[in-house]
Amino acid sequence: MFAFIFTLPIRFYRKFISPMFGQSKCRFEPTCSHYGIEAIRIHGAFKGIALLIWRILRCHPFCKGGFDPVPIKKK
């Protein structure tokens, strides 16, 4: 339940804001919004948001991008 609340802004962005920008080419696979939802689901709200912020900070013209999955949760 707690993680669901933190994914609501991401889902809102994907549904209402992202379409306004048209078809954009994402540097990473999965996209940052999918990455964020998955990171929050796997690692919880706080670490998941931290991973998402780090991912967004790495998205710039000098970054090659590519496949960048959510890290596996350590036991």
Q: Is the pLDDT of residue 25 over 80?
A: no
pLDDT of residue 3: 84
Mean pLDDT, the chain, as a whole number?
90
Mean pLDDT across the stretch 47-52? 96
Q: Is the pLDDT of residue 67 over 70?
A: yes
Mean pLDDT across the stretch 29-38? 93
Contacts for 15 with CB less than 8 Å, ≥ 6 apart: none
Distance CA 67, CA 30 (A): 7
pLDDT of residue 1: 67
Q: Is the pLDDT of residue 73 over 70?
A: yes
